[in-house]
């Protein structure tokens, strides 16, 4: 952990009820945090389990009344302190993130600002939890609708955005007046724990924000999804795991929000600005080495611009500099581990066996955690690579003839998270935007994520929205008050 200016940000155990809590159990070995770029051991983190998860839920439950009864302004002030501290420590937080996750430092800095922006956003949005009055069906009554915090929120978050995926959920929960327990991915616990350290410095009271780090995914997940004191569960990760967690939440009828898998089409029409489409495809595909749920998964190019697009795109991908995210000038880092590389390599191999052509890359990079930025042509929409979430730096290019055909191909997936298309024709823009069955559409834009927008999917990509004014609704209950007996 060289070059971290504030060493107190590097923590080695869970944060429960405002305390750094080391489990005394000898039963579990510590969790090893590995730098994916080098394979080196970064540090070890105390391995919490079921008992600590129970404690964290209890702490959140005990803190709920105190936190929810604060005024929105009081909560906002504390959350803004947290936002400010995250931005003040952006350099250290980015370094920690790159060391444990692998993304280039500039991207890690972007992620810290992105995560902090959710805290700033919901610090403000929490002041705007409005209710309603509804004209009553009879004169002696009044109907009033109020919104109240749902209660204790539990979350399981992924390794691909170790800061922002926690911030996006926790900020909405805290802004709504809920308390929060998160189990971060065991590959990337340090960013979560650094956030807890800053939450404490910001004055967020004990029990409001809890982080439990442990490798008992099943046991800890069961507590977070089935505990009667948890009112809402939120998850970002794969669709199969999300489905299992939803089933567990059904036992106590919890409200859930799920941000699950994607299979984003990126469509280039023949009237598009090709250079703009190349820039959009680069950011939407190769950000985080292709490891985001909204990454472009299939590039559809209209047949009369296929050659022009492919030549320029291959040149842009070839210019990416692969390496350790801490090295200056590196634009694409490692994947999270060798298993992830093996999955991507298999998809490429199967595509080639089915007739695809590797025009760039197609091999493991400098060590077993790296995969070369890759472009495949001659791909068809029925190949496995077009139906599976690649989650790696591989671009399959598929050609199409017309608008109807490409909308049908793009929608031919059980996923419905993000889609992108490039066109300058206003009529086509409306038709395609309305025809694509996805929760988020980038139109002449490859980077669609920010705190002001409702992030989320349809179909098997999940439910609920994160960020924006809609993001708060997932953490609130609607209560209707009927005021009767008003006659004189
Ligand atoms: C994700 O991969 O789940 C999140 C991506 C984003 O927020 O842009």
pLDDT digits (tens, 9 = 90+) for 361-373: 999 988 899 999 9
Same domain, 160 and 182: yes
The answer to whether residue 408 sits within a structural domain is yes
- Residue carrying structure tokens 């959140």: 60
Instruction: Output the 3-class SS for 299-347.
Output: EEEEHHHHHHHHHHHHHHHHCCCECCCCCCCCCECCCCCHHHHHHHHHH
| 13 is annotated as an active-site residue | no
**Distance (Å, rounded) from C-alpha 32 to C-alpha 36?**
12
Residue 272: which of 300, 298, 296 has the closest Cα? 300
Q: Is 332 within a domain?
A: yes
What's 311's domain CATH number?
3.40.309.10
Pocket-testing residue among 113, 160, 340, ligand 1, by greatest number of atoms within 8 A of Cβ: 160
Residue 365, pLDDT score: 86
Specify whether 259 is catalytic.
yes
Token duo for residue 81: 């302190």
Residue range 92-105: average pLDDT? 98
Domains: count for the chain: 2
* 141-155 pLDDT per residue, tens: 999 999 999 999 999
The pLDDT value recorded for residue 86 is 98
The mean of the pLDDT values for the chain is 97
pLDDT of residue 26: 58
Tell me, yes or no, whether 85 and 148 share the same domain: yes
Same structural domain, 401 and 474: no
> Same domain for 434 and 382?
yes
In a domain, 454, yes or no: no
Active-site pick, 125, 197, 259, 403: 259
Same domain, 174 and 308: no
Evaluate: CB of 461 within 6 angstroms of ligand 1: no
The verdict on residue 456 lying in a domain is: no
Question: Is 44 found in the same domain as 103?
Answer: yes
Residue 28, pLDDT > 80, answer no
Both 354 and 254 in a single domain? no
pLDDT tens-digit readout, 239-270: 999 999 999 999 999 999 999 999 999 999 99
**What is the 358 CA–ligand 1 centroid distance (Å)?**
27
The answer to whether residues 288 and 433 belong to one domain is yes
The CATH number assigned to the domain holding 172 equals 3.40.605.10
Q: Which of the residues 178, 249, 293, 295 is marked catalytic? A: 293
Which residue's alpha carbon is at the smallest distance from atom 6 of ligand 1? 449
Atom 5 of ligand 1, residue of closest alpha carbon: 292
Which residues make Cβ contacts (< 8 Å) with residue 34, sequence separation at least 6?
40, 41, 42, 100, 187, 337
44 and 149 share one domain: yes
Residue 487 is assigned to a structural domain of this protein: no
Q: Which of 415, 455, 466 to mutate to test the pocket of ligand 1 (most atoms within 8 A of CB)?
A: 455
Residues 298 and 247 in one domain: no
Say if strands 296-302 and 209-211 run parallel, antiparallel, or are unpaired.
Answer: unpaired
d(CA 102, CA 318): 20
Strands 230-236 and 255-259: parallel
Mean pLDDT of 103-128: 98
Does residue 457 form part of some domain? no
Residue 27 has pLDDT above 90, yes or no: no
Pocket test for ligand 1, best of 449, 451, 452 (most atoms within 8 A of CB): 449
- Judgement on whether residues 292 and 255 belong to the same structural domain of the protein: no
- Which range marks the domain in which residue 296 is found? 264-446
Q: Cα–Cα distances in Å, from 116 out to 161, 355, 448?
A: 13, 45, 17
**3 state SS of 403:** helix
Residues 110 and 208 in one domain: yes
For the CA of 295, the nearest atom of ligand 1: 2
Per 3-state DSSP, the chain is made up of helix, strand and coil in percentages (nearest 5) of: 40, 20, 35
**Model confidence pLDDT, tens digit, residues 307-330:** 999 999 999 999 999 999 999 999
Of 228, 234, 395, the C-alpha closest to 310 is 395
């Amino acid at each position: 952990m060289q070059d971290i200016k504030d060493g107190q940000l590097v923590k080695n155990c869970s944060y429960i009820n405002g305390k750094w809590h080391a489990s005394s159990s000898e039963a579990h070995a510590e969790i090893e945090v590995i730098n994916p770029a080098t394979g080196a051991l970064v540090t070890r983190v105390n391995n919490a389990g079921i008992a600590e998860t129970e404690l964290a839920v209890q702490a959140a439950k005990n803190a709920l009344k105190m936190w929810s009864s604060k005024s929105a302004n009081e909560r906002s002030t504390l959350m803004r302190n947290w936002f400010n501290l995250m931005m003040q420590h952006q350099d250290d937080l980015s370094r920690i993130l790159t060391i444990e996750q692998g993304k280039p430092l500039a991207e890690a800095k972007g992620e810290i600002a992105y995560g902090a922006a959710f805290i700033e956003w919901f610090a403000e949005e929490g002041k705007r939890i409005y209710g309603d009055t509804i004209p009553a069906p009879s004169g002696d009554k009044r109907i009033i609708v109020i919104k109240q915090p749902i209660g204790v929120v539990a979350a399981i978050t992924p390794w691909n955005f170790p800061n922002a995926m926690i911030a996006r959920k926790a900020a909405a929960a805290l802004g709504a007046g809920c308390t929060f327990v998160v189990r971060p991915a065991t590959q990337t616990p340090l960013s979560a724990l650094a956030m807890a350290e800053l939450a404490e410095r910001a004055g967020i009271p004990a029990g409001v924000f809890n982080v439990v780090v442990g490798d008992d995914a099943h046991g800890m997940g069961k507590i977070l999804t089935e505990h009667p004191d948890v009112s809402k569960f939120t998850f970002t990760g794969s669709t199969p795991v999300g489905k299992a967690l939803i089933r567990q939440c059904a036992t106590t009828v919890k409200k859930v929000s799920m941000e699950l898998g994607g299979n984003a089409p990126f469509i280039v029409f023949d009237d598009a600005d090709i250079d703009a489409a190349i820039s959009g495809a680069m950011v939407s595909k190769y950000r985080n080495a292709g490891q985001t749920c909204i990454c472009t998964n299939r590039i559809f190019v209209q047949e009369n611009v296929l050659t022009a697009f492919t030549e320029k795109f291959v040149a842009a991908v070839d210019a990416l500099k692969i390496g350790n995210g801490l090295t200056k000038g590196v634009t694409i880092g490692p994947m999270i581990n060798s298993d992830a590389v093996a999955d991507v390599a298999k998809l490429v191999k199967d595509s080639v066996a089915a007739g695809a052509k590797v025009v760039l890359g197609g091999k493991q990079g400098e060590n077993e955690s790296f995969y070369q930025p890759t472009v495949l042509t001659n791909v068809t929409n029925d190949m496995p690579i077009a139906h599976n979430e690649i989650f790696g730096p591989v671009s399959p290019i598929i050609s199409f003839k017309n608008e109807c055909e490409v909308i049908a191909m793009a929608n031919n997936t059980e996923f419905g998270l993000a889609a992108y298309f490039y066109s300058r024709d206003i009529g086509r823009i409306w038709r395609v935007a309305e025809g694509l069955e996805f929760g988020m559409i980038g139109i002449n834009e490859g980077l669609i994520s920010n705190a002001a927008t409702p992030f989320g999917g349809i179909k098997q990509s999940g439910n609920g929205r994160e960020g924006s004014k809609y993001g708060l609704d997932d953490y609130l209950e609607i209560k209707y008050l009927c005021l009767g007996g008003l006659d004189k």
